[in-house]
Chains A and B, each alone.
Chain A
Amino acid sequence: MNSNFSCKTCASADQKLETFISNLSVDTSHHRMEGQSVKCGFGLQGICCRLCSNGPCRITPDGPKGVCGATADTIVARNFLRAVSAGSGCYIHIVENTALMLKKTAASKGVLKGKVALAKLADIFEVAEADEHVRAEKIADMVLADLYKPDYVKMELVEKMAYKPRFDRWKELGILPGGAKSEVFAGVVKTSTNLNSDPVDMYLNCLKLGISTGLYGLTLTNLLNDVMLGEPSIRLAPVGLRVIDTDYINIMITGHQHSIFAYLQDRLIQDDVIEKAKAVGAKGFKLVGCTCVGQDLQLRGEHYKEVFNGHAGNNFTSEAILATGAIDAVLSEFNCTLPGIEPICDELKIKQICLDDVSKKANAEMKPFVFEEKETQSNEIIDAVIESYQARRAVVTLNMAADHGNDDTLTGVSEGSLKSFLGGTWKPLIDLIVKGEIKGIAGVVGCSSLTAGGHDVLTVNLVKELIAKDILVLSAGCSSGGLENVGLMSPSAASLAGPKLRAVCESLGIPPVLNFGPCLAIGRLELVATELAEAIGVDLPQLPLVLSAPQWLEEQALADGAFGLALGLPLHLGLPPFVTGSPVAVQVFTQDMLNLTGGQLIIDDNAKSAAETLDAIIEKKRKELNI
């Protein structure tokens, strides 16, 4: 490839991956980090405003206000709310499409694999219809009706879904969200030129967006997908680059909208399609997981054993997966579909098809998913992928990494499967926490990034520190993609845990880091937390439970973070979310939030000290619960 890329790649917690990438002859994000190592100080602090043509204005000693008079506090808050609005928009797009998919699946009497999830939703939404298709359609309609409300009409399902003490607090604070799509609109309007300048009002607005993002974009997306695609169940699965089987026609999937692949993934294992693959010399088709949609498929892998070969890696592993040469097509429907895959696909003749224009890649074929045409579309996709396989396999050199990853990652953990594993009740887990065998729980979630030490470096180091302190880690998001590839989600990782947690893990045969799958499953962690709080009879901020998004990457993560703060949980981030230029922002996030929701932001890029801080919070909460 004719690229002028750096020879020096950034560090990765995944040593095998680091070596693999450093030896590649294609340019990846890991190579580009060096060229982008000089960062803008104003951007990092959030004190640059580009909202009007008098700008960009930056806060400097000689220019303490923008031309319009905006202070650092106003500029930071506007930038932050804009980012949270955009992040919320992304997740709301996902839940909207998922609800539409359920509605159409139900209306066409399609297969609904998740009976338990359907019953659970019907119970929460108080839907009594006996026919499962009618019930599912009604549930989808209720979600859509809420999403499409104006911002001045409150969404109705919030009260049904939220834990009562939380709902009451949100009501007191005036942060119950109106229609989720309109709230994104309101957030964008509020932060435009010479509009809102009140930082506190804007941070409260972020919490409101956090609630709509969390309950709808995260929690409901999972449950609606469960209805269509089947509930997760716990099992051991292979992960890493080793999952790619060169004997098959391989399709890498990227995105967050699992249901878009529902028909195709069933079609790929039907006899006539397998025959087509055999006719060109392959054994059949395999889906190779990448990014959150891969994690989602892995989570429900029990239902897709034949077509799904395993999750290969997270967002910043996608370029490496393609660089093996064994992927014949990329199907994308959302982020994280890095622009960096484009030249690699060109070089290695990999077909790219985008199924949702929000993730249209510059050199990819656009094929917007249409439910009513899914049969024809799937056949066309299959033919295009076969054509790609035929054109490329003979001419592309393979560069496999069969020793990367492992075969025994415990996956399929969800609020439902975990509770079943514990015997249908949370009591055993609560007992372990009360006895101190498990000191507390840390949800280590969110993205993977190449900052904070390198690819997954802070995430992996922090998790090692936490489990060594007998804190059980639950992970959801690209963080889990990194944690599983380095073996922390394999039962043998119990040996890295503190003596008490180790004993618990070894007796149950589980790792000390539980894999909830995609970032969407942060919503599942919320369900676990809520059910635990309910069982104990306390509010969420009282639980010995902390959140960390050590390597948060993007705007969606900020909306997730706003949800965490609205839930009243301590939230650790490795790097600040571009707010440190504002004293008000720092005060609100690190101090005042405790009085508002009970939440608190902790910024620390040092794994050891961050773990100590989180451990101290857990100890404090244990003490307050008299355990």
Chain B
Amino acid sequence: MKRIIIDREKCDGCLNCNIACISAHEEGSNFYTVNMQSPDAETRNFIKFDAQKGYLPIFCRHCDEPECVLSCMSGALEKDPLTGHVQYDESKCAACYMCVMNCPYGVLKPDKRARTKVIKCDFCDDKPDGPSCVKACPKKAIEVKEVSL
């Protein structure tokens, strides 16, 4: 399976991965036109700053034993055995947010506008040229690597 691997040392905290993620999920937008002020502008990845450790890029790991999937009661979250990605089906989601509470990395979150769904990395639907955040990182601090399940 493919996973986004982080090299924390390389991260400059530029947040280009954030813009890329928001743009990838705003249909028809690009870096010039993506609306960063829209209530729907949600990023699925985060950069935290720690005074000691510097920038901490936090991305969905699509875990081998995903706590989010294990805690999901409605079946909205499932791990695809072929791709290894944890997939989210909004139509099945009861918005109980047990996944949000259980994610060990704090990467899942409720949507800001209506709080009726979960905002979660979809690996950009496995686009042939890879996830948008990875393409947008000027420092190559995030990379897609093949890892064994």
Interface status of B45 (Cβ within 8 A of chain A): no
Interface status of A388 (Cβ within 8 A of chain B): no
A583, B20: Cα distance in complex, Å: 20
Size class of the contact patch on chain B: 20 to 34
Given contacts A40-B16, A41-B20, A42-B19, contact A64 B32 (CB under 8 A): no
Cross-interface CB contact of B15 among A60, A64, A576, A583, cutoff 8 Å? A60
Interface residues of A in 549-604 (CB under 8 A from B): 575-576, 580-581, 583
Interface status of B37 (Cβ within 8 A of chain A): yes
Q: In the complex, which residues of chain B have a beta carbon less than 8 angstroms from the beta carbon of A61?
A: 22, 36-38, 41-43, 112
B31-A44 in contact (CB<8A): yes
Interface status of A72 (Cβ within 8 A of chain B): yes
* A71 nearest CB across to chain B (Å): 9
Cross-interface CB contact of A580 among B16, B18, B33, cutoff 8 Å? B33
Interface status of A47 (Cβ within 8 A of chain B): yes
B138-A38 in contact (CB<8A): yes
Q: How many residues of A contact B (CB 8 A)?
A: 19
Interface status of A39 (Cβ within 8 A of chain B): yes
With both beta carbons as reference points, the residue of chain B lying nearest to A586 in the complex is identified as B33
* B46 nearest CB across to chain A (Å): 9
Interface status of A58 (Cβ within 8 A of chain B): yes
Given contacts A40-B138, A41-B16, contact A580 B32 (CB under 8 A): yes
* A595 nearest CB across to chain B (Å): 24
Interface status of B8 (Cβ within 8 A of chain A): no
* B145 nearest CB across to chain A (Å): 19
**Interface code A57-96, partner B: CB below 8 Å = 1, 0 otherwise?**
0111100100000001000000000000000000000000
Interface status of A45 (Cβ within 8 A of chain B): yes
Cross-interface CB contact of B31 among A45, A59, A72, A583, cutoff 8 Å? A45
Q: In the complex, which residues of chain A have a beta carbon less than 8 angstroms from the beta carbon of B138?
A: 38, 40
Q: In the complex, which residues of chain A have a beta carbon less than 8 angstroms from the beta carbon of B36?
A: 45, 47, 59-61, 72, 581
Q: In the complex, which residues of chain B have a beta carbon less than 8 angstroms from the beta carbon of A64?
A: 37
A40, B23: Cα distance in complex, Å: 13
Cross-interface CB contact of B32 among A44, A59, A583, cutoff 8 Å? A44
B15-A42 in contact (CB<8A): yes
* B29 nearest CB across to chain A (Å): 10
With both beta carbons as reference points, the residue of chain A lying nearest to B19 in the complex is identified as A41
B residues near A (Cβ < 8 Å) are 14-16, 18-20, 22-23, 31-34, 36-38, 41-43, 112, 135-138
12 contacting pairs across A/B (C-beta < 8 A): A40-B16, A41-B31, A41-B34, A42-B19, A44-B32, A45-B32, A45-B36, A59-B36, A72-B37, A575-B32, A580-B33, A583-B37
Across the A-B interface, give the 9 residue pairs with the lowest CB-CB distance, nearest first: A41-B19, A61-B41, A41-B31, A38-B138, A580-B32, A44-B31, A576-B32, A59-B36, A44-B32
Please give 9 more A-B residue pairs, beta carbons under 8 A apart, in addition to A45-B31, A580-B32: A38-B138, A40-B14, A41-B19, A41-B34, A42-B19, A44-B32, A45-B32, A60-B36, A61-B43
A residues near B (Cβ < 8 Å) are 38-42, 44-45, 47, 58-61, 64, 72, 575-576, 580-581, 583
